[in-house]
């Protein structure tokens, strides 16, 4: 299924630059085989759509966006819609928030991969040398439930 590439917008380029300056890996106009998303953050599985106001005011466009998001969700990606006007007024705040979310999701995706590897091949994982994960970090993030703490 061919997906037609569209022209880059000034807002897409500005957001891409702001994210790259914050160390976020960004692919412009990523083609997932079903559609072309404005920006894709591969380390966190995030599609970013930089939208005009018609994405909120035209029923046909809203329905089209729902259909497009279906494919992203099916492949485990999140979709973030950002209005052009929001970028014009709050670029730094938006880019900072996206950077923080990207860092959080990278940790979760690594943990999810580790769990899948453990389930698939527990012996292989035990013999594999890698940097140990910080249990304290995962406790702080609420990813590890400590029974001892709850019994007190």
User: Is residue 5, in this structure, part of any structural domain at all?
Assistant: no
Q: What's the confidence (pLDDT) of residue 151?
A: 42
Q: Among the listed ranges 11-15, 18-22, 107-111, 112-116, which one has the minimum average pLDDT value? A: 112-116
For residue 40, tell me if it sits in a domain: yes
pLDDT digits (tens, 9 = 90+) for 87-141: 999 999 999 999 999 999 988 888 877 787 778 776 655 545 454 555 555 555 5
Does residue 139 sit within a domain?
A: yes
Asked if 48 and 16 touch (Cβ cutoff 8 Å), the reply is no
pLDDT of residue 2: 43
- How crowded is the C-beta side of 73, counted as CA atoms within 13 Å? 7
Record the tokens describing residue 96, joined without a space: 């900072």
pLDDT of residue 136: 56
Taking the model in full, what pTM does it have?
A: 0.69
Phi and psi angles of residue 27, each rounded to the nearest 5 degrees, phi first? -105, 125
Residue 1 lies in a domain: no
Greater confidence (31 vs 25) lies with: 25
Q: So what's the pLDDT on residue 14?
A: 96
Separation between Cα atoms, residue 33 and residue 11, nearest integer Å: 24
Residue 122's pLDDT is what?
60
pLDDT tens track for 37-73: 899 999 999 999 998 888 878 889 888 888 888 888 8
In a domain, 115, yes or no: yes
CATH of residue 82: 3.40.960.10
Q: Does the pLDDT of residue 145 top 80, yes or no?
A: no
Task: Return the higher-pLDDT residue of 109 and 145.
Answer: 109
3-state secondary structure of 124: helix
- Of 20 and 146, the one with more pLDDT: 20
Is there a domain that residue 4 lies in? no
CA angle in degrees (0–180, nearest 5) for 52-58-61: 75
- Whether residue 152 is predicted with pLDDT greater than 50 in this model: the reply is no
Per-residue b or e along 108-134, where b marks 16 or more CB atoms closer than 10 Å to that residue's CB: eeeeeeeeeeeeeeeeeeeeeeeeeee
The parent domain of residue 121 ranges over 10-151
Residues 6+ apart with CB under 8 A from 53: 83, 84, 85
Residue 3 in any domain: the answer is no
Which 8-state DSSP code applies to residue 34? S
Q: Yes or no: say if 107 and 144 are a contact pair by the CB < 8 Å rule.
A: no
Domain count, the chain: 1
């Amino acid at each position: 299924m061919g997906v037609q590439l569209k022209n880059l917008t000034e807002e897409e380029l500005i957001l891409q630059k702001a994210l790259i300056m914050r160390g976020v890996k960004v692919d412009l106009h990523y083609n997932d085989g079903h559609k072309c998303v404005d920006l894709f953050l591969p380390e966190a599985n995030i599609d970013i759509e930089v939208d005009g106001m018609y994405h909120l005011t035209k029923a046909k466009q809203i329905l089209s966006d729902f259909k497009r998001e279906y494919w992203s969700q099916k492949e485990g990606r999140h979709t973030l819609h950002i209005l052009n006007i929001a970028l014009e007024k709050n670029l730094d705040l938006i880019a900072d928030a996206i950077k923080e979310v990207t860092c959080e999701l990278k940790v979760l995706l690594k943990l999810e991969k580790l769990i899948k590897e453990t389930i698939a091949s527990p012996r292989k994982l035990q013999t594999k040398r890698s940097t140990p994960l910080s249990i304290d970090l995962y406790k702080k993030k609420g990813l590890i439930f400590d029974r001892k703490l709850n019994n007190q």
